[in-house]
Structure 1
């Protein structure tokens, strides 16, 4: 069983999101949009399933450095873990800060900032490529002699802490604001207002921002998102959009040294002959959030299918060590396909219905293959038959209605 704190806490994430929705309703705050929230969680789902493969690289190299180059042997106890937790957050601060200040690294982090809302679901909007650009920031901890198992635990708890600060429900928190990262501090970090950009990078503690000059107090309410909105509900495209922009821009750069500068300078940098650095601008007076209108019947379809996807994802993440590599890869691809499929209806894509019929069929066959040994075949076939027929019927009844959906902005 996967004992990662992040995976174990999955049920609690959804309980807290439900409580936040209730509080926001009492506060008469819109708070959540179904398409945005599902996209946020989908990014987290893809991040977790791809992380099954990427973490082998990051933890594997950390372990190799620990075993061959550690200066000390740090014992595992409460006090050394507390020290590790603090030092981990120090490394996290620099990894996070560089993810904002280096264009290539920003490609791995921009995913988390691309939602135009700010609620607990945004905490789950994680990148599938960020680990590639940041895992080496923690190598000093291996050289100091901190056990890889303790590092994984510290990493998980650090990420868990950051979940609850993604909310507008909680205001300022008095004394804690002086040294801890809080919802107020992190709202600043997610703001696209020029005064808020590249501020408050700490994970658990805000001390490092105050020490190294990147702290900003929350003043006016932030406008959330990124300076060039991604304008898509497709989690796969959300992960690739910045890299696609980089590919097009780097083609226009003439010299190899300038291409390197483009990769490693701040996001927005271009050579002088292409206009130079593009500084963040004030929020446009006519700014509107990206939105699309979907019939309630299809919202319910996506919601029901999404619950089934989350059950499969949870089962996969908890039992991942029991699967061989072929099964891991197959389930991962099915999960990613499903998350992309849901974006098709939100964005009124022509390919949505034909491929969704196929996806439902593949989903049913996959569930049958996974559980045929543990569950009565007659019962399993009955359940999957009802699911497949109901899904096909629902899609057929709503196909024309969905094709007439207009895109709108808020």
Structure 2
């Protein structure tokens, strides 16, 4: 069983999001949009399943350094863990800060900032590539002699702490604001206003920002998101869009020296002969959040399928250590395919219907392979058969409704 604190806490994430929705409703705050919230969670789902493969690299290298190059072996006890937790957050600060200040690294972190809302679901909007650009920031902890198991635990708790600060339901928190990261401090971090950009990088503690000159108090309400909105509900594209832009801009730069500078300078940098640095601008009065509207029956269809996806993803992540690599790859692809398919509904893509038929058949097959040893085959086949019938009937009804709407609009 996967005992990662982040995976174990999955049920709590959804309970807290439900509480936040109720609280925001009483505060008469819109708070959530289904298309945005599902895209946020989809990014987290993809991050977790791809992390099954990427974390093997990062933790593996950390362990090699710890076993072969560490200056000492630090014993595991409560005091050394507290020291590790503090030092981990210091390393996190620099990894996070450089993810904002280096264009290539920003490609791995921009995913988390691309939502134009600010609620607990945004905490789950995690990148699938960020670990590639940040895992080496923690190598000093291996050299000092901190156990890899303790590092994983500190990392998980640090990430769990950051979940609850993604909310507008909590105002300023008095004395805690002086040294802890809080919802107020982190709202600043997610603002796209020029005064808020690249501020408040701390994970658990805000003291590092105060020490190193990147602290900004929350003043006016931030406008959330990024200066060049991704304008898509497709979590796969959300992960790749910045790299695609980088590819286009690199092609415009004629010499290799400037290409390297482009990769490692701040996001927005271009050589002077191409216009120079593009500073972020204050959102204008005509700014509108990206949104799309589909009939309620389409949203309910996505919600129904999403429950099935979460069942599969939760079981897969909890039992991932018991599967061989073929199963891991196959299930991961099925999960990613499903998250992309939902974006086809929200964005009204013409390819949605034919690929959704294939996805439902494939997805049902994956469910059968994973659960056939847990549930009697006749019962499992009956449940999956009902699931397929409901899905196909609902899908066909939605497609007919879409055709009627399209015809009526002509």
Fold match, TM over 0.5? Answer: yes
Aligned-pair distance for 1:377? 1.5
Alpha-carbon distance in 1 for matches of 2:6, 2:255: 44
Residue aligning to 1:161: 161
Shift, 1:400, TM fit = 3.4
What is the CA-CA distance between 1:220 and the residue it aligns to?
Answer: 0.1
Where does residue 317 of structure 1 map in the other structure?
317
Q: 1:134 to 1:108 in 2, by over 3 A?
A: same
2: CA distance between counterparts of 1:396 and 1:85? 52
Counterpart in the other structure of 2:115: 115
Q: Please, which moves more after superposition, 391-400 or 119-128?
A: 391-400
Query: How many residues align structurally?
Result: 406
**Equivalent position of 2:59 in the other structure:** 59
1:58–1:295: structure 2 CA closer, same or farther, 3 Å change rule? same
In structure 1, distance between residues paired with 2:402 and 2:209: 48
Specify the alignment match of 2:124 in structure 1.
124
Distance across 1 between alignment mates of 2:219 and 2:403:
43
Distance (whole Å) between structure 1 residues aligned to residue 402 and residue 245 of structure 2: 30
Q: Which residue of 1 aligns with 2:300?
A: 300
**CA distance in structure 2 between the partners assigned to 1:364 and 1:326 by the alignment:** 17
Task: Tell me, in whole angstroms, the C-alpha distance in 1 between the residues paired with 2:36 and 2:168.
Answer: 16
Q: Note closer, same or farther for the CA distance 1:405–1:61 as it changes in structure 2 (3 Å cut).
A: farther
In structure 2, relative to structure 1, the CA distance for the partners of 1:403 and 1:20 (3 Å cut) is farther
Aligned match of 1:182: 182
Secondary structure at the counterpart of residue 163 of structure 1: helix
Give 1:97's aligned residue.
97
Q: What aligned pairs does 1:270-309 form with structure 2 within 5 A after superposition? A: 270-309=270-309
Relative to structure 1, the CA distance from residue 404 to residue 52 in structure 2 (aligned partners, 3 Å threshold; closer, same or farther) is: farther
Distance 2:124 2:67 in 1: 33
Residue of structure 2 equivalent to 1:73? 73
Deviation at 1:404, TM superposition (A): 7.2
Structure 1 residue 260 displacement after superposition: 0.2
Task: Give the unaligned 5+ runs of structure 1.
Answer: none
SS at match of 1:291: coil
Are 1:99 and 1:106, in contact at CA under 8 Å, matched by a contact in 2? Answer: yes
Alignment of 1:188-199 (within 5 A): 188-199=188-199
Distance in structure 2 (CA, Å) of the matches to 1:222 and 1:135: 30
Shift of the alpha carbon at 1:363?
Answer: 1.0
Q: What SS does the aligned partner of 1:95 have?
A: helix
TM-score (norm 1): 0.98
8 A Cα contact 1:107 1:242, kept in partner:
yes
TM-fit CA distance, 1:401: 2.6
CA distance in 2, matches of 1:158, 1:404: 50
Q: How far did residue 375 of structure 1 move?
A: 1.5
The 3 A distance-change label for structure 1 pair 210 and 405 is farther
Shift of 1:360: 0.7
Inter-CA distance 190–368: structure 2 relative to 1 (3 Å threshold): same
Corresponding residue for residue 25 of structure 1: 25
Partner Cα distance (2:52, 2:304) in 1: 26
Where does residue 141 of structure 2 map in the other structure? 141
Matched, 1:256 2:256: yes
CA distance in 1, matches of 2:397, 2:173: 50
Residue 366 of structure 1: how far off its partner (Å): 1.3
Structure 1: which 4+ aligned runs deviate by more than 2 Å? 400-406
Change in Cα spacing, 1:185 to 1:361, as seen in structure 2 (3 Å) is same
- Rounded to whole Å, the distance in 1 between the matches of 2:403 and 2:206 is 48
CA pair 404-152 structure 1, distance change in 2 beyond 3 A: farther
1:220 paired with 2:220, answer yes
Separation in structure 2 between the aligned mates of residue 242 and residue 216 of structure 1, nearest angstrom: 26
Kept after mapping to 2: 8 A contact 1:158/1:204: yes
- Judging changes above 3 Å, is the alpha-carbon distance between structure 1 residues 295 and 67 closer, same or farther for their aligned structure 2 residues? same
| Cα separation, 2, equivalents of 1:174 and 1:72 | 40
Q: Report the equivalent of 1:390.
A: 390
In 1, distance between residues paired with 2:404 and 2:115? 26
